[in-house]
Amino acid sequence: MMETNATILIVDDNKGLCEGVKEFLEHEAYAVACANSGKDAIDMLPGNRYDIALVDIKLPDMQGTDLVKKLADISPSTDFIHITAHATVDTAIEAVRQEHVISYETKPLDMDHILAILRQIMKRKKLEVALFQSEKLKSIGTITAGISHEYNNILAIISGNVQLIQNTYNDHKGLLDSLHIIMKAVNDGAEISNKMLEFAKTKVDTTEYVIDDISDLIKQSIDFTKPRWKNMAQANGVNYHIDMEGVREKSEVSCNSTEIREVFINIIHNAMEAMPEGGRISFSTWNKDDVVFVRVSDTGKGMTEDVRKKIFDPFFTTRRPQGTGLGMSIVYSIMSRHNGSIEVNTKIGRGSTFTLQLPVVTRVDIIREISETEQVSKSNGLHILVVDDDEPICDILDKFLSREGHMVRTVDNGAEAIVLARVNSYDLVLCDMVMPEVYGYDVIKALNQLERIPKIGVITGWGEQLKPVGGETFKVDFVLKKPFDFSEMSILINNVFNSN
């Protein structure tokens, strides 16, 4: 499926010129329409999207400059090029003063020059779209992250209390069944919240980056999704074929392999949704300069222009009520974090094509640092300090850890935690990251300056993955995301005190 470079409207009463320019541009993969009067052009614009319009200055029913004003009101995103066989200084000045007019060209037209202008305009448009999308996602991401943090705090309170009740009344089957349903709902909510955080994440953690071959990542993604596109589909009488013949060159990239696989997995699932009766998904790769291109095409039903524009928007989905609308927005965020890009071209009834770009690694420049964990043996019970500005969370952790045989002190602010840590010898400090006035980071830095540094566990609704950084004294032993699971918490605590 040939990709269309752009949609062009030619407005000129010279039908021979229109057809000649149309034929030339269609050969260059542009979609072209012609109008031979101002009225025809105005009638054509509603319901059609044109990236660029070539408009003659003198038309039989109106001046080209007046037509441009009318067309720009109807389609503000269209750029205009004035063309004329009667060039004068006055008409040139009037033309280029118009807001949406990019150029003023005289007949006979130099088509190579026109082609260069069109390419320049479309390059600028793509950059504008990418910038707009990036800024929009950044704004939504900031809001989403804040909502998700508060959401996780609420889920942590529900989850913690449910687990305490389950542990206390483990012989009440009816009650446990009801609690199991509540926990299932909490876990589903946590999964959505984690996806929201994944979308909102903009900082790059290159400590998790490795050098990986893009063709291997594609193959692994196909293998991971095989149960769905092959086994489950064939059981329902549906056949999908995934073609890797176009994946030719070995291309190494520096990446978080899990995230890049997630990109391909989401695109495969998206393609399958567009082909409910089966079809073909084709992968191809090629290198240009220091960039690897990955093209993924399907033979599905395609998308409308409105859907294409919104596909990377968070919470946009055509699969209500099953879809969350986060899959493709996460894909966009992952590609941005990897200094890459993703575009989609589509046509109703002809399928869709995603084109991804990632920088190729030409030399190994990732140095892995392995930090050794201090060995401490666990005694009968630990002296634990819990720091969280949310009182219900403090109460839940106090109850659970006390039942586990530990001595627990809880505080709801960072300042008091620092004072207590300086006068008491705690084995473990569990600390929230986001608190008023004195942040979790301030508490952790203060703990790291003590003569006897306690083990430090971060409990957070933000999903941060904190790790020791080479050359810094900042040390965290584990991170536990809200809503937390008590069994996971116990394992993390035992591991950190029983490590060999």
By the 8 A CB rule, do 221 and 261 touch? yes
d(CA 228, CA 221): 12
Domains 210-359 and 383-498 share a fold: no
CB atoms within 10 A of CB 335: 19
pLDDT at 223: 85
- DSSP structure string for 107-127: SSP-HHHHHHHHHHHHHHHHH
Backbone torsions φ then ψ of 150, nearest 5 degrees: -65, -40
Low-confidence ranges of the chain (pLDDT < 50): 1-3, 315-316, 320-325, 363-379, 464-472, 500
d(CA 262, CA 219): 12
Backbone torsions φ then ψ of 179, nearest 5 degrees: -65, -35
By the 8 A CB rule, do 409 and 384 touch? yes
The fold of 210-359 is Heat Shock Protein 90 (3.30.565)
pLDDT at 352: 92
d(CA 432, CA 413): 9
pLDDT at 189: 63
Identity at 274, one-letter amino acid code: A
The fold of 7-109 is Rossmann fold (3.40.50)
pLDDT tens for 453-471 read 999 998 876 554 444 444 4
pLDDT at 5: 67
Whole-angstrom CA distances from 420 to 46, 379, 423, 431, 438 are 70, 22, 5, 13, 14
**Which CATH architecture does the domain made up of 383-498 adopt?**
3-Layer(aba) Sandwich (3.40)
Taking the domains of the chain in order of start, what are their residue ranges?
Answer: 7-109, 133-200, 210-359, 383-498
pLDDT at 54: 95
3-state secondary structure 167-190: HHCCCCHHHHHHHHHHHHHHHHHH
d(CA 385, CA 357): 47
User: CA angle, 238 as apex, 237 and 239 as ends, to 5°?
Assistant: 125
d(CA 45, CA 37): 13
pLDDT at 77: 84
Q: Which of 8, 15, 5 is nearest to 32 (CA)?
A: 8
Count the alpha carbons within 13 Å of 251 in the hemisphere toward its beta carbon.
23
